[in-house]
A = this chain, B = another copy of it.
Amino acid sequence: MAGATADAALITAARGRPTTEVPVWFMRQAGRSLPEYRALRAGGAMLDACFDTDLVTEITLQPVRRHGVDAAILFSDIVVPLRAAGVAVTIEAGVGPVMADPVRDAAAVARIGELGDTGSIEAAVTALTRQLGSTPLIGFCGAPFTLASYLVEGGPSREHPTTKALMWGQPAVWQELLERVADLCGEFLRRQVLAGASAVQIFDSWAGTLNRADYERFVRPYTERVLAHIADLPVPRIHFGVGTGELLSAMALPQVDVVGVDFRVSLADGIARIGAGHSVQGNLAPAALLAPPAVIRERTAAIIRQGATARGHIMNLGHGVLPHTDAEVITDLVAWIHEEGPAIRAGALSNPAAGDGKVGA
């Protein structure tokens, strides 16, 4: 597995080996910003689409075909492993994941089953790796804290108060919940890699709502448990969370190759916190794609210059593509990064003062 992609720039950068290219992909590159996605998905339920081999394959390929990005990311949703474990969850348009029965006590935790059949998704992964050739497919799963917060709150939440009250007030229930969820996530990732994914990204949407001490005590051990499920599989691991400026050093686990940096943090600061042992990914503000082309390029160049000082740098946004983004803007930016990125990076390396992070990026 993953042999065809071993020399891909994204894999090389993730491993911390030198690349002249600046590999680029976009979180949420598959999805609402693409007219061909909106046409394909019209009317169907999100979670049904995530278990449909043909839809997953086609939606995952769309942005690679259109933009020429350097990686595909499996079209999925963070709650897919919960659905595959028999949890009653739906995704409501304009709301997000909604649980029929929120999980708030030991009995409810005990009812969370093991990961059931995901054969339709594995079939999509296999079809994708065949069609993608030398372009890596990134497998995807949510992190245990984020999934647990959906289970406990019963749906999306800004401050996750019920989740935190459970975490702080009933630590034994919390531990059991997070272990079960971590095993679902880990097994789901493992199946994706065994089916052919060349890399994985663990996405902790809501970890940024915690301070570092809480993250280290109540969350990180379970993300490590996810990683243990794929410890024997030779694929780079990317770890990203939104608003995690305070957590970057704690998220830079030894088992992780790449840490994604949120757009609120200067990439130079992110690199300093993450350290020399990891590559970085990011971190153009998604809103920058709505600004004039000159602004987009100036900010992208500043990020490439800062990224040149990291062990390896994968260009990306610092959060997902916003729904109203013009797809052509992304296509143009990818071409521009492929054309100009190597020279910008080389310039920063020969003149390090240019990459000092003073330019707002």
Neighbouring B residues of A263 by C-beta, 8 Å: 211
Q: Verify if A245 is at the interface (C-beta below 8 Å from B).
A: yes
Are B161 and A322 touching (Cβ within 8 A)? Answer: yes
Q: Does A246 belong to the interface (CB within 8 Å)?
A: yes
Bitwise interface map of A from 137 to 173 toward B, beta carbon under 8 Å scored 1, else 0 = 0000000000000000000000111111100110000
| A214 with B290, Cβ < 8 A, contacts A245-B246, A246-B264, A322-B159 known | no
CA distance A288 to B160 in the complex (A): 11
Contact call B265/A169, Cβ cutoff below 8 A: no
The answer to whether B243 and A286 have CB atoms under 8 Å apart is no
Q: Is A130 on the interface with B (CB-CB < 8 A)?
A: no
Q: CB < 8 Å: which of B162, B168, B291, B292 contacts A164?
A: B291
A110 at the interface (CB under 8 A from B): no
Chain B positions within 8 Å of A210 at CB level: 264
Pick the contact of A213 from B209, B212, B245, B359 — CB < 8 Å? B359
Of B160, B161, B264, B360, which one neighbours A217 at CB under 8 angstroms?
A: B360
**B217 x A246 contact (CB < 8 A):** no
- Report the minimum CB–CB distance from A213 to chain B (whole Å): 3
Is the Cβ of B360 less than 8 Å from the Cβ of A161? no
List of B residues within 8 angstroms of A159 by Cβ: 286-287, 319, 322
Q: State the CA gap A213–B283 with chains docked (Å).
A: 14
A276 at the interface (CB under 8 A from B): no
Among A169, A211, A212: residue with most chain B CB under 10 A: A211
Are A360 and B264 in contact, with the CB atoms below 8 A?
no
Is A285 on the interface with B (CB-CB < 8 A)?
Answer: yes
Complex-state Cα separation, A209 to B245, whole angstroms: 12
Instruction: Give A359's nearest chain B residue, CB to CB.
Output: B213
Is A214 touching B246 in the complex (CB atoms < 8 A)? no
Q: Is the CB of A213 within 8 A of B266?
A: yes
CA distance in complex: A246, B290 (Å) = 23
Please name all residues of chain B whose beta carbon is closer than 8 Å to the beta carbon of A360 when the two chains form the complex.
211, 213-214, 217
* Residues 171-216 of A at the B interface (beta carbon under 8 Å): 208-214
Q: Which one of A208, A295, A319 has the highest number of Cβ atoms from chain B below 10 Å of its Cβ?
A: A295
Q: CB-CB < 8 A to A209: which residues of B?
A: 264
Pick 10 A–B contacts, CB within 8 A, sort by A: A159-B322, A161-B324, A165-B287, A168-B291, A211-B264, A211-B360, A211-B361, A212-B266, A213-B359, A217-B360
Chain A interface residues toward B at CB < 8 A: 159-165, 168-169, 208-214, 217, 243, 245-246, 263-266, 269, 285-288, 290-292, 295, 299, 319, 322, 324, 357-361
Known: A161-B287, A164-B288, A211-B285. 7 other contacts (CB 8 A): A159-B286, A160-B287, A161-B286, A168-B288, A168-B291, A211-B360, A213-B361
